Amino acid sequence: MKHCPSIQTATRTALETFAALLLRWNRTVNLIARRDEPTLWDRHIEDSLQLIPLLPPNLPRAVDLGSGAGFPGLILAIATAIPFDLIEADQRKAAFLREAARLTNATATIHATRIEATNLPPAPLITARALAPLPALLALTAPKLAPNGICLFLKGANATSELTAAAAQWHMRTEQHPSRTNPTGCILRISEIARATPIRDRDPT
Protein backbone atom coordinates (compact mmCIF):
# COMPACT_ATOMS: atom_id res chain seq x y z
CA MET A 1 0.00 0.00 0.00
CA LYS A 2 1.83 3.05 -1.22
CA HIS A 3 0.03 5.52 1.04
CA CYS A 4 0.03 3.27 4.15
CA PRO A 5 3.26 1.24 4.08
CA SER A 6 3.25 0.61 7.85
CA ILE A 7 0.10 -1.53 7.83
CA GLN A 8 0.78 -4.79 9.66
CA THR A 9 0.58 -8.16 7.93
CA ALA A 10 -2.52 -9.29 9.85
CA THR A 11 -4.31 -6.07 8.96
CA ARG A 12 -3.30 -6.37 5.33
CA THR A 13 -4.67 -9.92 5.26
CA ALA A 14 -7.97 -8.77 6.75
CA LEU A 15 -8.21 -5.97 4.20
CA GLU A 16 -7.53 -8.44 1.39
CA THR A 17 -10.37 -10.60 2.75
CA PHE A 18 -12.61 -7.54 2.77
CA ALA A 19 -11.64 -6.60 -0.80
CA ALA A 20 -12.31 -10.10 -2.14
CA LEU A 21 -15.71 -10.20 -0.44
CA LEU A 22 -16.64 -6.77 -1.78
CA LEU A 23 -15.80 -7.72 -5.35
CA ARG A 24 -17.87 -10.88 -5.02
CA TRP A 25 -20.89 -9.09 -3.55
CA ASN A 26 -20.57 -6.27 -6.07
CA ARG A 27 -21.80 -8.63 -8.78
CA THR A 28 -25.30 -8.48 -7.29
CA VAL A 29 -25.29 -5.53 -4.85
CA ASN A 30 -24.24 -2.07 -6.01
CA LEU A 31 -21.51 -1.44 -3.43
CA ILE A 32 -19.10 0.50 -5.66
CA ALA A 33 -19.19 1.47 -9.33
CA ARG A 34 -17.98 -1.36 -11.56
CA ARG A 35 -15.48 1.02 -13.16
CA ASP A 36 -13.87 1.48 -9.72
CA GLU A 37 -13.19 -2.21 -9.15
CA PRO A 38 -9.65 -2.13 -10.65
CA THR A 39 -8.73 0.80 -8.38
CA LEU A 40 -10.50 -0.48 -5.26
CA TRP A 41 -7.36 -0.26 -3.12
CA ASP A 42 -6.29 3.28 -4.07
CA ARG A 43 -9.70 4.85 -4.56
CA HIS A 44 -11.50 3.35 -1.57
CA ILE A 45 -9.38 1.37 0.90
CA GLU A 46 -6.31 3.60 1.06
CA ASP A 47 -8.55 6.65 0.86
CA SER A 48 -10.06 5.46 4.15
CA LEU A 49 -6.76 4.46 5.75
CA GLN A 50 -5.33 7.96 5.33
CA LEU A 51 -7.57 9.09 8.20
CA ILE A 52 -5.58 7.08 10.74
CA PRO A 53 -2.94 9.77 11.49
CA LEU A 54 -5.76 12.25 12.22
CA LEU A 55 -7.55 10.05 14.77
CA PRO A 56 -7.55 11.31 18.37
CA PRO A 57 -5.55 9.12 20.78
CA ASN A 58 -7.21 6.50 23.00
CA LEU A 59 -10.58 6.56 21.26
CA PRO A 60 -13.09 4.36 23.10
CA ARG A 61 -15.50 4.21 20.14
CA ALA A 62 -16.55 5.95 16.94
CA VAL A 63 -19.57 6.29 14.65
CA ASP A 64 -19.55 6.14 10.85
CA LEU A 65 -22.54 7.71 9.10
CA GLY A 66 -23.90 6.29 5.85
CA SER A 67 -21.34 3.50 5.83
CA GLY A 68 -22.28 2.12 2.41
CA ALA A 69 -19.63 -0.42 1.41
CA GLY A 70 -17.59 0.25 4.55
CA PHE A 71 -15.64 3.39 3.68
CA PRO A 72 -14.20 4.70 5.85
CA GLY A 73 -15.76 3.18 8.98
CA LEU A 74 -15.27 -0.54 8.47
CA ILE A 75 -11.78 -0.06 7.04
CA LEU A 76 -10.80 1.94 10.13
CA ALA A 77 -12.33 -0.67 12.44
CA ILE A 78 -10.27 -3.37 10.71
CA ALA A 79 -7.05 -1.36 10.77
CA THR A 80 -7.23 0.16 14.26
CA ALA A 81 -9.49 -2.14 16.34
CA ILE A 82 -11.44 0.93 17.47
CA PRO A 83 -15.07 -0.12 18.07
CA PHE A 84 -17.18 1.47 15.33
CA ASP A 85 -20.94 1.82 15.04
CA LEU A 86 -21.70 1.69 11.31
CA ILE A 87 -25.03 3.23 10.30
CA GLU A 88 -26.40 2.16 6.92
CA ALA A 89 -30.08 2.26 5.98
CA ASP A 90 -29.78 0.10 2.85
CA GLN A 91 -30.53 -3.44 4.05
CA ARG A 92 -28.41 -5.15 1.40
CA LYS A 93 -25.39 -2.99 2.13
CA ALA A 94 -25.91 -3.55 5.85
CA ALA A 95 -25.92 -7.31 5.21
CA PHE A 96 -22.62 -6.96 3.37
CA LEU A 97 -21.16 -4.96 6.25
CA ARG A 98 -22.18 -7.63 8.75
CA GLU A 99 -20.57 -10.37 6.69
CA ALA A 100 -17.43 -8.33 6.11
CA ALA A 101 -17.12 -7.53 9.81
CA ARG A 102 -17.56 -11.20 10.67
CA LEU A 103 -14.95 -12.44 8.20
CA THR A 104 -12.38 -9.81 9.16
CA ASN A 105 -13.06 -9.90 12.92
CA ALA A 106 -13.64 -6.16 12.78
CA THR A 107 -14.74 -4.37 15.94
CA ALA A 108 -17.89 -3.05 14.27
CA THR A 109 -21.59 -3.03 15.08
CA ILE A 110 -23.96 -2.57 12.14
CA HIS A 111 -27.14 -0.52 12.47
CA ALA A 112 -29.45 -1.08 9.50
CA THR A 113 -31.54 2.04 9.92
CA ARG A 114 -31.70 5.70 9.02
CA ILE A 115 -29.20 7.95 10.75
CA GLU A 116 -31.95 10.04 12.34
CA ALA A 117 -33.54 6.90 13.84
CA THR A 118 -30.47 5.66 15.70
CA ASN A 119 -30.22 6.13 19.45
CA LEU A 120 -26.54 5.86 20.33
CA PRO A 121 -24.49 7.55 23.06
CA PRO A 122 -22.73 10.70 21.84
CA ALA A 123 -19.54 9.70 20.04
CA PRO A 124 -16.06 11.22 20.43
CA LEU A 125 -15.45 10.66 16.71
CA ILE A 126 -17.81 10.68 13.73
CA THR A 127 -16.68 9.85 10.21
CA ALA A 128 -18.40 10.07 6.83
CA ARG A 129 -17.52 9.85 3.15
CA ALA A 130 -19.58 10.91 0.13
CA LEU A 131 -22.74 11.15 2.23
CA ALA A 132 -24.14 14.69 1.90
CA PRO A 133 -23.12 18.32 1.39
CA LEU A 134 -21.54 19.73 4.53
CA PRO A 135 -24.52 21.79 5.83
CA ALA A 136 -26.78 18.72 5.74
CA LEU A 137 -24.00 16.50 7.06
CA LEU A 138 -23.50 18.73 10.09
CA ALA A 139 -27.23 18.59 10.82
CA LEU A 140 -26.99 14.79 10.93
CA THR A 141 -23.78 14.84 12.94
CA ALA A 142 -24.35 17.46 15.63
CA PRO A 143 -26.93 15.49 17.70
CA LYS A 144 -24.64 12.44 17.79
CA LEU A 145 -21.32 14.10 18.60
CA ALA A 146 -19.89 14.23 22.13
CA PRO A 147 -19.18 17.76 23.47
CA ASN A 148 -15.44 17.54 22.81
CA GLY A 149 -15.77 15.24 19.82
CA ILE A 150 -14.40 15.67 16.33
CA CYS A 151 -15.56 14.81 12.83
CA LEU A 152 -13.44 13.52 9.98
CA PHE A 153 -15.12 13.95 6.62
CA LEU A 154 -13.61 12.90 3.29
CA LYS A 155 -14.59 15.55 0.77
CA GLY A 156 -14.07 16.21 -2.93
CA ALA A 157 -13.47 19.26 -5.09
CA ASN A 158 -16.47 21.17 -3.65
CA ALA A 159 -15.12 21.24 -0.08
CA THR A 160 -14.39 24.98 -0.04
CA SER A 161 -17.83 25.97 -1.30
CA GLU A 162 -19.43 23.54 1.15
CA LEU A 163 -17.50 25.14 4.02
CA THR A 164 -18.74 28.57 2.93
CA ALA A 165 -22.34 27.36 2.82
CA ALA A 166 -22.02 25.64 6.19
CA ALA A 167 -20.57 28.75 7.84
CA ALA A 168 -23.89 30.53 7.31
CA GLN A 169 -25.63 27.95 9.50
CA TRP A 170 -22.98 26.58 11.83
CA HIS A 171 -20.18 27.71 14.10
CA MET A 172 -17.28 25.27 14.01
CA ARG A 173 -13.55 24.88 14.14
CA THR A 174 -12.16 23.43 10.92
CA GLU A 175 -8.89 22.05 9.62
CA GLN A 176 -8.46 21.16 5.96
CA HIS A 177 -5.93 18.45 5.11
CA PRO A 178 -5.02 17.49 1.54
CA SER A 179 -6.04 14.04 0.41
CA ARG A 180 -3.17 11.68 -0.37
CA THR A 181 -5.31 9.64 -2.77
CA ASN A 182 -7.43 12.26 -4.53
CA PRO A 183 -5.65 15.33 -5.98
CA THR A 184 -8.86 17.39 -5.86
CA GLY A 185 -10.06 16.07 -2.51
CA CYS A 186 -9.41 16.84 1.13
CA ILE A 187 -10.10 15.72 4.67
CA LEU A 188 -12.11 18.05 6.90
CA ARG A 189 -11.38 17.79 10.61
CA ILE A 190 -14.22 19.60 12.35
CA SER A 191 -14.85 20.25 16.04
CA GLU A 192 -16.70 22.65 18.35
CA ILE A 193 -19.88 22.42 16.26
CA ALA A 194 -22.82 24.62 17.22
CA ARG A 195 -25.74 25.81 15.16
CA ALA A 196 -25.64 29.54 14.42
CA THR A 197 -28.51 31.47 15.98
CA PRO A 198 -30.76 32.94 13.27
CA ILE A 199 -30.80 36.75 13.35
CA ARG A 200 -34.55 36.84 13.97
CA ASP A 201 -34.07 34.80 17.18
CA ARG A 202 -31.30 36.93 18.65
CA ASP A 203 -32.07 39.24 21.52
CA PRO A 204 -32.06 42.91 20.51
CA THR A 205 -29.12 44.96 21.80
Residue 54 lies in a domain: no
Residue 2 lies in a domain: no
Find the CATH number of the domain harbouring 98.
Answer: 3.40.50.150
DSSP code of residue 43: I
Q: Which of 72, 78, 108 is nearest to 8 (CA)?
A: 78
Residue 31 lies in a domain: yes
> Do residues 121 and 158 lie in contact, with contact meaning Cβ atoms separated by under 8 Å?
no
Q: What is the pLDDT of residue 7?
A: 76
What pTM does this model have? 0.91
Cα separation, 134 vs 195, in Å, equals 13
In the chain the beta strands, taken as DSSP E runs, fall at 62-65, 84-87, 108-111, 123-129, 145-155, 170-178, 186-195
Q: Give me the average pLDDT of each 10-residue run along the chain (205 residues).
A: 67 98 98 96 97 96 98 98 98 99 98 96 97 97 96 96 96 96 95 81 51
Q: What is the pLDDT of residue 200?
A: 54
Find the Cα–Cα–Cα–Cα dihedral 29, 31, 37, 42, rounded to 10°.
-160
DSSP code of residue 53: G
Residues spanned by the domain of 129 = 9-38+60-198
Q: How many domains does the chain have?
A: 1
Residue 28 lies in a domain: yes
113 contact partners, CB below 8 Å, separation of at least 6: 87, 89
Residue 150 lies in a domain: yes
Residue 183 lies in a domain: yes
Residue 205 lies in a domain: no
Residue 44 lies in a domain: no
> Do residues 140 and 132 lie in contact, with contact meaning Cβ atoms separated by under 8 Å?
yes
